[in-house]
Amino acid sequence: MRTYILRRLFFLTFVLLGVSVIMFSLLMTFSPERRAMVYVTTPQQAKDIPSLIKRYGFDQPFYKQYGRWAKEVASGNFGYSLVASRPVSEAFWIYFPVSLELALYAAPCIIIFGIWMGTRAGRHRNSGFDHFSRVFSIIGWSLPTFLFALVLLMVFYGYTNWFPPGILSDESSLYIIEHPEKFVRYTGLYSIDGILNGNLSIALDSLRHLVLPVITLTVVVCAILMRVMRSGMIEEMSKDYVTTARAKGVDENTILIKHARRNALIPVITVAGTLVALLMEGSVAVEIIFNRQGIGWWLATSAIQLDMPVLMAICLFMGVVFVSVNLIVDILYAVIDPRIRLD
Partner 1 sequence: MATQHPALKEFKYTLHRIFKNPTAILGFTLLLFFITVAVMAPYLAPPKYEHNPYKVPHTGFSSIPQPPSAEHPFGTTSGQYDIYYAAVWGTRTSFKIGLFVVSIALLIGVTLGTIAGYYGGLVDEAIMRCVDAFYAIPFLVLAMTIVVAFGRGLDVIMIAIASVAWRNYVRVMRASILTIRDLDYVNAAKLMGVSDFRIMIRHILPNSIFPVMVVASMEIGAYVLIAAFLAFLGLGAPRGYADWGQMIALARNYIVGPPDDPFLYWYTIAIPGGCIVLFVLAWNLIGDALRDAFDPKLRRE
Can you give the binding site for partner 1, defined by CB under 8 A? 14-19, 21-23, 26-27, 29-30, 138-139, 141-147, 150-151, 153-154, 157-159, 277-278, 280-281, 284-285, 288, 299-300, 303-304, 306, 308, 311-312, 314-315, 318-319, 322-323
Cα 211 from Cα 164, distance rounded (Å): 10
Cα 326 from Cα 272, distance rounded (Å): 8
Comparing CB distances to partner 1, the nearer of 142 and 253 is 142
Least distance to partner 1 from the beta carbon of 7, Å?
14
Coil, strand or helix at 328: helix
H, E, C per residue of 167-199: CCCHHHHHHHHHCCCCCCCCCCCHHHHHHHCCC
Comparing CB distances to partner 1, the nearer of 31 and 254 is 31
- Sequence-distant (6+) residues with CB within 8 A of 131 are none
Least distance to partner 1 from the beta carbon of 16, Å?
7
Comparing CB distances to partner 1, the nearer of 176 and 233 is 233
Chain centre to alpha carbon of residue 279: 4
Least distance to partner 1 from the beta carbon of 158, Å?
3
Comparing CB distances to partner 1, the nearer of 18 and 50 is 18
- Sequence-distant (6+) residues with CB within 8 A of 27 are 35, 69, 308, 312
Comparing CB distances to partner 1, the nearer of 167 and 284 is 284
Cα 70 from Cα 254, distance rounded (Å): 55
Query: At residue 336, what is the residue type?
Result: I
Identify which of 208, 164, 180, 190 has the alpha carbon closest to the alpha carbon of residue 97.
190
Least distance to partner 1 from the beta carbon of 24, Å?
11
Comparing CB distances to partner 1, the nearer of 115 and 323 is 323
Least distance to partner 1 from the beta carbon of 134, Å?
8
Comparing CB distances to partner 1, the nearer of 35 and 203 is 35
- Sequence-distant (6+) residues with CB within 8 A of 126 are none
Comparing CB distances to partner 1, the nearer of 250 and 277 is 277
Least distance to partner 1 from the beta carbon of 96, Å?
15
Cα 271 from Cα 230, distance rounded (Å): 13
Least distance to partner 1 from the beta carbon of 301, Å?
9
Least distance to partner 1 from the beta carbon of 239, Å?
14
- Between the alpha carbon of residue 199 and those of residues 81, 176, 190, 195, the distances in Å are 33, 11, 10, 6
